[in-house]
Amino acid sequence: MLTSICGINWGDEGKGRMVDLLSSDYDIVCRYQGGNNAGHTVINDKGKFVLNLLPSGILREGVVNVMGPGMVIDIKHLCGEIERLREGGIKISPENLKISDKAVITMPYNVLQDIMEEDRLTKATGKPYGSTRRGIAPVYADKYMKKVFRMGELLNTQLMYKRLPDIVAWKNMTIKAYGFDPVSVDEMIEYFETYGKQLAPYIVDTGLYLNEANKQGKNIMFEAQLGALRDIDFGIVPYTSSSSTIAAYAPIGAGVPNLKLNNSIGIMKAYSSCVGEGPFTCEYFGDKAEKLRELGGEYGAATGRPRRVGPFDVVASRYGIRCQGADEIALTKLDVLDDYEEFEICTHYELDGKIIDEFPFTDVLDMCKPVFEKVKGWHCSLAKCRKKEDLPKEALDYIHLLEKLCDCKIKYVSVGAERDAYIVL
């Protein structure tokens, strides 16, 4: 069984939480894109964990975790994350963590570039991209410029150290243009020596490993970061991430382009949240926003930034479901709506007096206005619901309404952050 778990919305749908839950049926969990800009919060019997780079299967004993070639890896951050989890009692060894030799290393100068550019944009235009400032866009740009170092090179540093001076000189041309001090070759060697060497035992050809595992009939789950609307091609460019967050990319980003997914599970939130900049048509402001943000605890796991919030957005979610080719949906954070006697959903957009049902091009999106419709709430706690029969009628009606409007089956409903707070429909 090859299954992808992807975000339908703008990210932070609760992918980490669902991967932690559903990975009980899987032998392997593989992250296939992005870097430490991810923030997946998982709460289970072992405690509360925030994962940035490690796949969310790392918290389950017996699951092998793979970091695929589609990822960009800040090796200092990864060493810190492994250390932090070990302190929390999680066992991590080359037995349960395998890092692709083809994954790209995020360099300290990429982080610097990200900061320099966001600050420049803010000063020049007042409109930064809303980056997490962790070097993700610059390192993916370098990847396509073919001026990066890959994890496999850490196994034989001689060759990479030969290439290093020219790449540092090239990078310094950019850094100096921003008016910053150049970086040195020695600093970069220290970065590789201090952190890269620690990770060497984990580096393997994960494509080979996954192909073998697949031949043996093992179940593999592919875990995405962010959501469809933050995808580099299909999202709200330029306010997106710099990698493909799409299920169809999973086999490529995982290192097994020859394999086909059996199943795509889309993680969709019962309302909307959007961290950072960009058009967010269904956005709430003022007290309405404040209330929903507080109820949903909508503050970024990676950055602590207050997330922008709004009601469920049918137009954007339907588009997200299409992009992810979702076969079934896990609807998360339904309990966040417990407090409302009545709440809203955004059913359409309006542009120049016309009603729009299809998610438009980003520039057009800026001019769209949301059309809200009222939905009757259940106004009681869902926290203890564990089966369909436990759900109040209004909650079930809301689930069926979303299924109808989005034309996709909702299979799982999450009613709390803890591992067991879910319902299979």
Positions annotated as catalytic residues are: 12, 40
* Residue 223 in the binding site for Mg ion (CB under 5 A): no
Min separation Cβ 412 and Mg ion, Å: 18
* Residue 20 in the binding site for Mg ion (CB under 5 A): no
Which is nearer to Mg ion, 34 or 39 (by Cβ)?
A: 39
Which among ligand GDP, Mg ion, none contacts residue 99 (Cβ within 5 to 8 A by kind)?
A: none
Which among Mg ion, ligand GDP, none contacts residue 336 (Cβ within 5 to 8 A by kind)?
A: ligand GDP
Buried b (16+ CB within 10 A) or exposed e, 357-380: eebbeeeebeebebbbeebebbee
Which is nearer to ligand GDP, 282 or 301 (by Cβ)?
A: 301
Min separation Cβ 14 and ligand GDP, Å: 3
Which is nearer to Mg ion, 12 or 153 (by Cβ)?
A: 12
- 3-state SS, the chain, equals CEEEEEECCCCCCCHHHHHHHHHHHCCEEEECCECCCCCEEEEECCEEEEECCCCHHHHCCCCEEEECCCEEEEHHHHHHHHHHHHHCCCCCCCCCEEEECCCEEECHHHHHHHHHHHHHHHHHHCCCCCCCCCCHHHHHHHHHHCCCCEHHHHHCHHHHHHHHHHHHHHHHHHHHHCCCCCCCHHHHHHHHHHHHHHHHHHEECHHHHHHHHHHCCCCEEEEEEEEHHHCCCCCCCCCCCCCCCCHHHHHHHHCCCCCCCCEEEEEEECCEEECCCCCCCCCCCHHHHHHHHHHHCCECCCCCCECEEECEEHHHHHHHHHHHCCCEEEEECHHHHCCCCEEEEEEEEEECCEEECCCCCHHHHCCCEEEEEEEECCCCCCCCCCCHHHCCHHHHHHHHHHHHHHCCCEEEEECCCECCCEEEC
Min separation Cβ 38 and Mg ion, Å: 6
* Residue 255 in the binding site for Mg ion (CB under 5 A): no
Q: Which residues bind ligand GDP (CB under 6 A)?
A: 7, 11-17, 39-41, 43, 297, 301, 332-333, 335-336, 414-417
* Residue 114 in the binding site for Mg ion (CB under 5 A): no
Min separation Cβ 14 and Mg ion, Å: 8
* Residue 138 in the binding site for Mg ion (CB under 5 A): no
Which among ligand GDP, Mg ion, none contacts residue 223 (Cβ within 5 to 8 A by kind)?
A: none
Which is nearer to ligand GDP, 184 or 381 (by Cβ)?
A: 381
Min separation Cβ 12 and Mg ion, Å: 4
Q: Give yes or no for a contact between 321 and 360, defined as CB atoms under 8 angstroms apart.
A: no
Min separation Cβ 226 and ligand GDP, Å: 7
Q: Which residue has the tokens 């016309």?
A: 354
Which is nearer to ligand GDP, 40 or 171 (by Cβ)?
A: 40
Of 405, 309, 319, 307, residue with least CA distance to 361: 319
* Residue 39 in the binding site for Mg ion (CB under 5 A): yes
Task: Please name the residues in contact with 326: beta carbons below 8 A apart, sequence gap of 6 or more.
Answer: 6, 8, 247, 264, 265, 266, 408
Min separation Cβ 229 and ligand GDP, Å: 13
Total residues in contact with Mg ion, by rule CB under 5 A: 3
Min separation Cβ 346 and ligand GDP, Å: 20
Q: Which of residues 297-316 bind Mg ion (CB under 5 A)?
A: 301
Which among Mg ion, ligand GDP, none contacts residue 269 (Cβ within 5 to 8 A by kind)?
A: none
Q: Which stretch binds Mg ion (CB under 5 A): 5-13, 108-116, 187-195, 349-357?
A: 5-13
Rounded Cα–Cα distance for residues 121 and 123 (Å)? 5
Which is nearer to Mg ion, 201 or 297 (by Cβ)?
A: 297
Which is nearer to ligand GDP, 11 or 57 (by Cβ)?
A: 11
Which is nearer to ligand GDP, 16 or 196 (by Cβ)?
A: 16
Q: Please report, as ranges, the residues that interact with Mg ion according to CB under 5 A.
A: 12, 39, 301
